[in-house]
Structure 1
Amino acid sequence: MITEAKRLQSVQEYYFSKKLQEIANMQTEIPIISLGIGSPDLQPAQEVIETLIKESQAGVNGYQSYRGLPEMRNAMAQFYQNQFGVKLNPSTEILPLMGSKEGIMHISMAFLNEGDKVLIPNPGYPTYTSVTELVQAEPLFYDLKSENDWLPDFEQLEKLAEQKPKIMWINYPHMPTGAKAPREVLEQLVDFAKRHNILIVNDNPYSFILNENPTSILSIDGAKDIAIELNSLSKTFNIAGWRIGMVLADESLINSILKVKSNMDSGMNFAIQKAATKALEVSEDWYNNLTKVYSERREIIYQICEKLNVTYDPKAVGMFIWAKLPEGIDDKTFIDEILYEKKVFITPGSIFGSNGKGYIRFSLCAPIEKLNEVLERL
């Protein structure tokens, strides 16, 4: 019998992969409404769609550069200059990705050896842990807790630094909690990473969802010496399935990541790159309209929270609402009861780590009429 690789012994199938299959197999008289995944249901800008159609018909179907079209990298650089005040060299400090999720693997393969330690937030995006284990490095979990506004405890980080971690994953605005990191916290993180020779990676796809002050770690003085940022067009421009992301860093770090990436794919589709370039050039009205839609949806999610007797932080940002269950209620049991009885899917907080136990997460990626239907079912 063919046995699987040892590296898979500590890695399970992604939670949403299993749960969505379970939901698909359920026999129900009424459709299940999903508030589980942050997959934008809104349309891209009309000019973005028109560009995709036009360039698809142009017949450029060959392999593309591993570094992406120069005009797309220029647009990414201009986007970072306009939105974050960060100046980047589009030729050497930007590498387009087929979604930022692949960047987690590329970065880990580029810089981690077997047995290296990796600082991972708890709660946090599960892929940080699974990829760390796939490359046979060792996760070191650092706590994020509500009493500290879901920000790192630097006393704990100093103790964990004694184990000489090589990479630290951070994610602000934070998923799943929606916490923001004040600039002084980002400055502390950069200082911490420099003192301990740690490569810090900020995963930053939620900057423009219900967030008045988008921030990049690369805007901190000296951050480029030890920091990488991942970003994505998926959430901000409603093109999640197109798979367009980017990694931004000093040239030497980009070149290391490129060694991995160039052996993993054969370049991004030409028409999608042209459409992504157009998306990055949308007017400020785009962001304002996005905020308006998600603000209206958030108000209904707040009503759903009150129906379910769960508490939330109205200061949180991003496309999720993170809510605390009453004491003693198991989050996985709770969401299954809602799923089976009301045909509504909500994400249990414990899939994001032990500090997520007793919490649930709602996605704002559902239209108003569906959210109102959830209210009625409850």
Structure 2
Amino acid sequence: MVISDRLAQIPDSYFGKTMGQKVEHGPLPLINMAVGIPDGETPKGIIDCFAEALREPSNQKYGAFHGKETFKQAIVDFYKRQFEVSLDPEDEVCILYGTKNGLVGLPTCIVNPGENVLLPDPGYTDYKAGVLLADARPQSLVLEPPYYLPQWDKVNRDILQNTKLVYLTYPNNPTGSVATHAVFDEAIAQFKGTKTKIVHDFAYSAFGFDEKNPSILQSEDAKDLAIEVFSLSKGYNMSGFRVGFAVGNKDIIQAMKKYQSHTHAGMFGALQDAAAYALNHYDSFLDKQNETFKRRRDMFEAKLKAANIPFEPMKGGIFLWLHTPPTYDGEAFVQYLLQKQSILVAPGIPFGEHGKNFVRISLAVDDASLETAVQRIQDLKHLYA
């Protein structure tokens, strides 16, 4: 096999390895709750805009490397409208061909070999790959139940002093925990005046069940050291479009734009037109998405409580963090659910060492399948006794 030493040191992506693979399951119809692909359709207006934009001659040629003015302005207007955050469209906005590209590429843009990068544990699986590709050192930012929030005083001081970048993600994937303005204020205060930067992965921004999720950029002085990465995939049911953006600290944004100018030649213009249309016209759709997943959360948690099956309270996002039975770790319980109940979920261990005794359940399935799935899980209450 021909592979560089740097790439060889990185474990295979869990979802890259498993998505699309044939699954051997038990006798019941399979219910796939392993991935966070929204089950609803992209709104018709966005599809119509995309179809029309495909026929636009200017979109059939190379475009500006760093994006259309119309798309960047839509991002600026959206952040002002939703969060009362002002942005400069040229200096503080970077368009991303999928937020994963930005989150994985970021360490290469701003982190030097040997410097520490703090990664949430539990947290999204592929942050670590970006750190290793940059020859940097991944360090765990342990998030403890029930709130799964940073506790800076528990991080080793030597590690903190050599930390160049911190990843945060709220609503948290996989735990469903959320952050308040105070949490972000504390993070900014912790690192203001140091060399440490912060990236907040805001992929599940639309889903806050008790109150609206705050942006880290709402905190005072946040743009001195932080960026936020926003995805259109979940809130707008646009996961196949692969469109997102980063906003915030201008130095980080410019580094990301320089990196992108060498790795790809800009985003397809029709995608930008569709994304701009979504941002400009579908605020109410985000509210409906939130209502849908709040209703699903309420039903699912109530059924688990009735069966005395333990889980972590889901305050936002689209995933529920379920404890495994006492005699199972996450990987063993995934196989048990698959063979006995024909339910596919994700094991907790890819999300960090502190996910060993959990599985992640996606609520991004239709309501009928969700009802069936929770009934099948209720039938396993004897395993938790």
Which residue number in structure 2 is paired with residue 255 of structure 1? Answer: 254
Match of 1:305 in 2: 304
1:36–1:139 CA distance, 2 compared to 1 (3 A): same
1:176 pairs, out of 155, 160, 174, with: 174
Determine the structure 1 residue equivalent to 2:79: 80
- More displaced stretch, 118-127 vs 187-196: 187-196
| Identity within the alignment, % | 29
- How many residue pairs match? The answer is 375
Written as runs of structure 1 = structure 2, the 5 A alignment for 1:12-27 is: 12-20=11-19, 22=21, 24-26=22-24
* Structure 2: 5+ residue stretches without partners: 378-385
- Residues 27/214 of structure 1: CA separation in 2 closer, same or farther (3 Å cut): closer
Deviation at 1:25, TM superposition (A): 4.9
Shift of residue 377 of structure 1?
Answer: 4.4
> What is the CA-CA distance between 1:270 and the residue it aligns to?
1.3
> Is the contact between residue 106 and residue 130 of structure 2 (CA under 8 Å) also seen in structure 1?
no
Distance in 2 between the 1:97 and 1:20 partners? 22
Structure 1 CA distance for aligned equivalents of residues 323 and 72 of structure 2 = 41
Q: CA deviation at 1:221?
A: 0.9
TM norm structure 1:
0.93
Counterparts of 2:109 and 2:53, CA distance in 1: 33
Q: Is the 8 A contact 2:25 2:338 kept in 1?
A: no
1:7 counterpart SS class: helix
Q: Deviations over 1:178-221 (max 9, x none)?
A: 11122122111111112432011111111111443221111111
- Where structure 1 has 5 or more consecutive residues not aligned to the other structure, the ranges are none
Contact 1:305 1:323 in 2 (8 A): no
Contact kept in structure 1, 2:28 and 2:341, CA below 8 Å: no
State the alpha-carbon separation in 2 of the partners of residues 90 and 236 from structure 1.
22
Counterpart position of 1:43: 41
Matches within 5 A, 1:328-339: 328-339=327-338
Match of 2:123 in 1: 124
**1:91 counterpart SS class:** coil
Aligned to 1:203: 201
The more displaced of 367-376 and 61-70 is: 367-376
**Cα distance between partner residues in 1 of 2:313 and 2:214:** 20
1:210–1:319 contact (8 Å) kept in structure 2: no
Aligned pair 1:369/2:368, yes or no? yes
Q: Deviations over 1:12-36 (max 9, x none)?
A: 11112223355x1537765421111
Residues 375 and 154 of structure 1: CA distance in aligned 2, closer, same or farther (over 3 Å):
closer
> Is the 8 Å Cα contact of residues 177 and 313 (structure 2) preserved in structure 1?
no
Partner of 2:350 in structure 1?
Answer: 351
Shift of 1:284: 4.0
Map 1:261-280 onto structure 2 (within 5 A): 261-280=260-279
Deviations 1:60-110, CA, capped at 9 Å, x for gaps = 311222211111110101111111111001122111111111001331111
The one-letter amino acid paired with 2:288 is N
Letter paired with 1:204: F
Contact 2:311/2:321 (8 A) holds in 1: yes
Aligned partner of 2:220 in structure 1 is 221
Do the aligned residues in 2 keep the contact of 1:209 with 1:291 (CA within 8 Å)?
yes
